[in-house]
Amino acid sequence: MFIMVNGLIYSQTRGQHGGARSAEMMKQGLKYELKFSDLKTDSVTAIQQAYQAKSRRLRMNESLSDDEKRIKLELLEAERKANLGRILTVDELQKLDAYLDDLRKKRLQTPAKK
């Protein structure tokens, strides 16, 4: 069922900006694959979106050295984990990390669209 829902969401959001499509697909995965409640799904999605925006700004910041970026990204990741730890159990956090790793791998395997 998850694959059908995920495929449906993908086809419905295909014309949207990639970030909006990715966020919606992640949200559906949290609900249907990880069985998170609506509240946890919304909270995790908000934390992830904030983290991704901050992470992107750091990576794009040309005034920082690579070492400075690495340190700041490590601190940002620790902040993300702490925020998620306030709403998820240890088991849920592990499942989320595995789910996000899987999404990253799939994204890297998918050829970019022109």
pLDDT per position as a tens digit, 1-11: 444 334 433 43
Domain of 13 in residue numbering reads as 2-109
Concatenating the DSSP letter of every residue in 73-96 gives HHHHHHHHHHHHHTTS-HHHHHHH
Q: Which residues contact 107 (CB under 8 A, 6 or more apart)?
A: 22
Q: What is d(CA 9, CA 24) in angstroms, rounded to the nearest whole number? A: 7
Residue 77 is assigned to a structural domain of this protein = yes
Q: pLDDT of 55-101, one tens digit each?
A: 999 999 999 999 999 999 999 999 999 999 999 999 999 999 999 89
What would the mean pLDDT of 20-26 be, rounded to a whole number? 78
pLDDT for residue 7: 41
Beta strand ranges found along the chain (DSSP E): none
Residue 16 is assigned to a structural domain of this protein = yes
Nearest-5° Cα angle at 57, 54 to 59: 110
Nearest to 18 by CA among 47, 51, 52: 52
pTM, entire model: 0.73
Residue 99 is assigned to a structural domain of this protein = yes
pLDDT for residue 18: 59
Taking each helix axis from N to C end, the angle separating 66-85 and 90-109, rounded to the nearest 10 degrees, works out to 130
Residue 114 is assigned to a structural domain of this protein = no
DSSP tally for the chain: helices H, then strands E: 5, 0
Residue 83 is assigned to a structural domain of this protein = yes
Total number of domains in the chain: 1
Residue 76 is assigned to a structural domain of this protein = yes
Residue 7 is assigned to a structural domain of this protein = yes
